[in-house]
């Protein structure tokens, strides 16, 4: 009995000491967020044929989760959930955005706000896609609210996506290199007189559109929407990865003497896939594969920068993707034709836009030199838990509505993951509980006409046991009526808790 008491005291002392250390010497935190990177696109998962040595280096020295999830099968909702710890289906505006206003309420708690209140410098570099302003956006003056109003001290972003206008960078609310004598005009309804478009002027294109991307032409690439002016401010697509990497390194160098948080949001491998010429042909899979090779290189360069500045020992790296993969997503770029034996979904069913597993099960890796021991973990974890888990790690009392404290699982090689999780795709939801997945009936096509992705729509309930059927080929809804009813009841209880 005495020995048990001593062991208990030692354990409590160790836990308390660890928490006190994280509070007095808080770790830097960097979230590296890829765009449309699939479960099978990272070679350390052993599922595809692409080689990603820099991501693998981080994965092999940290925890590689085999059951890590984004909150949604599309970009804006996933980003909303990661930053707020709130399910995106609770917010009707949390859907794929095009030239929209900010969907995070400025009074809402966010991950950067929580960290800022705990003494952190906070920055975002890369893709934003959560909306800007609260009325019609005027890109010729300071734009507010935006990232800076929801907790980021510094922001260097693309407003939406690389395939949408305006094709400019915005730093702390202002368009970079804007000449006010050449003001920016943006429309998603009609073109400006005299401006060429992908639809009307295919002879000007260096990349041909397949569907939906036939608006204004910038750098030979047709975009979604129409833009006029801002010529001096327009980005160079092939230099985008280098620009974001340099901005991330610049930010780290500026704030490295204090605890900092960096949300490094890559644009790859989202369309239009425009890798720098030095990466062209490296994958043998066309621009999509080359863009992933480029992204892997960027991650390696960021890691090297941390190492050079002696920051690795006290920096947590979290690497993941906003949703699953898609091949043809609007351009003719050989993604389908040159895929070969590679499996972006890693053998999972579906992909981006889908309620099946490949829509939301993504690479998820945590690294903390000397603190996280190398392991492969099967615990279920979600990006929606980042806020609560990081808050618990650094001693903050802040908690979100839907997040769970998984700090032990994510950062300490211990504990248990989520037992249940609601997943979302284009405002539709599915439910995972332990090894079971429930997809309610939804109207609509079984496959996306353009992307050829299985969406999960069906006239009837679908029920899958991931322990025996990870590829979701056997619908057990009819043969397991008791489990089906149990899943439906619990799913409806959660969905009915909307506020």
pLDDT in tens, 149-179: 999 999 999 999 999 999 999 999 999 999 9
The architecture (CATH level 2) of 24-178+229-412 comes to 3-Layer(aba) Sandwich (3.40)
CA angle (393 as vertex; 406, 317 as ends), nearest 5: 80
Which of 326, 322, 360, 353 minimizes the C-alpha distance to 466?
360
**pLDDT of res. 497:** 62
Rg (CA), the chain: 22
All structural domains of the chain with their residue ranges: 24-178+229-412, 185-228, 422-495
> CB of 420 within 8 A of CB of 429?
no
Is residue 416 over pLDDT 60?
Answer: yes
For the chain, report the end-to-end CA distance as a whole number of angstroms. Answer: 49
The span from the CA of 171 to the CA of 494, in Å, is: 39
CATH 1.10.357.10 is held by the domain 422-495: no
DSSP, res 276? -
How would you classify the pairing of strands 154-158 and 428-433? unpaired
Query: Cβ distance 62 to 317 under 8 Å?
Result: yes
Which tokens hold the place of 281? 């042909």
- Give me the pLDDT at residue 24, please: 75
Residue 492 DSSP SS3: helix
For a pLDDT cut of 70, what percent of the chain falls above it? 95
CB 108, CB 402: distance < 8 Å: no
pTM of the model: 0.95
Say if residue 499's pLDDT is above 60. Answer: no
| pLDDT (0 to 100) of residue 19 | 55
Diameter of the chain measured on Cα atoms = 86
Residue 21, pLDDT > 90, answer no
CA gap 133, 146 in Å, rounded? 6
Lowest mean pLDDT among 2-6, 202-206, 226-230: 2-6
How much is the mean pLDDT over the chain?
95
Q: How confident is the model at residue 4 (pLDDT cuts 50, 70, 90)?
A: very low
Averaged over 82-97, what is the pLDDT?
96
């Amino acid at each position: 009995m005495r020995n048990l008491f001593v062991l208990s005291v030692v354990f409590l002392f160790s836990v308390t000491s660890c928490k006190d250390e994280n509070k007095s010497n808080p770790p830097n935190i960097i979230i590296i967020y890829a765009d449309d990177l699939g479960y099978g696109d990272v070679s350390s998962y052993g599922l595809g044929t692409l080689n990603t040595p820099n991501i693998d280096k981080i994965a092999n020295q940290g925890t590689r989760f085999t059951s890590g999830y984004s909150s949604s099968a599309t970009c804006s909702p996933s980003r909303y959930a990661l930053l707020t710890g709130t399910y995106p289906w609770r917010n009707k505006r949390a859907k794929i955005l095009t030239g929209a206003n900010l969907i995070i309420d400025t009074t809402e708690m966010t991950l950067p706000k929580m960290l800022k209140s705990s003494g952190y410098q906070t920055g975002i570099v890369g893709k934003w896609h959560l909306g800007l302003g609260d009325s019609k956006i005027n890109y010729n003056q300071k734009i507010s609210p935006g990232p800076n109003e929801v907790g980021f001290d510094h922001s260097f972003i693309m407003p939406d996506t690389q395939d949408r206008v305006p094709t400019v960078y915005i730093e702390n609310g202002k368009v970079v290199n804007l000449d006010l004598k050449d003001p920016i005009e943006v429309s998603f309804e009609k073109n400006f007189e005299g401006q060429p478009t992908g639809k009307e002027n295919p002879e000007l294109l260096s990349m041909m559109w397949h569907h939906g991307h036939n608006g204004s032409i910038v750098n030979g690439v047709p975009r979604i929407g129409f833009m006029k002016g801002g010529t001096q401010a327009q980005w160079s697509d092939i230099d985008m990865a280098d620009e974001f990497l340099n901005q991330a390194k610049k930010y780290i160098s500026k704030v490295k003497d204090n605890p900092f948080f960096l949300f490094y949001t890559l644009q790859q491998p989202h369309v239009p896939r425009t890798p720098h010429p030095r990466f062209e042909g490296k994958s043998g899979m066309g621009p999509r594969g080359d863009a992933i090779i480029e992204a892997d290189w960027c991650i390696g360069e960021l890691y090297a920068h941390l190492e050079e500045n002696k920051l690795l020992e006290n920096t947590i790296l979290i690497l993941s993707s906003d949703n699953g993969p898609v091949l043809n997503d609007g351009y003719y770029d050989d993604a389908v034709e040159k895929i070969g034996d590679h499996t972006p979904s890693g053998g999972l069913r579906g992909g981006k836009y889908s309620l099946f597993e490949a829509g939301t099960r993504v690479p998820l890796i945590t690294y903390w030199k000397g603190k996280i021991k190398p392991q492969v973990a099967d615990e279920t974890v979600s990006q929606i838990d980042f806020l609560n888990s990081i808050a618990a790690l650094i001693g903050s009392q802040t908690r979100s509505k839907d997040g769970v404290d998984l700090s032990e699982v994510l950062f300490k090689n211990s504990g248990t993951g989520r037992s249940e999780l609601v997943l979302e795709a284009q405002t539709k939801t599915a439910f995972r509980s332990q090894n079971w997945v429930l997809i309610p009936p939804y109207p609509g096509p079984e496959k996306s006409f353009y992307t050829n992705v299985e969406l999960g729509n069906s006239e009837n309930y679908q029920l899958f046991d991931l322990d025996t059927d990870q590829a979701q080929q056997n619908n057990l809804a009819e043969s397991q009526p008791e489990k089906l009813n149990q899943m439906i009841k619990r799913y409806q209880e959660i969905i009915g808790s909307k506020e």
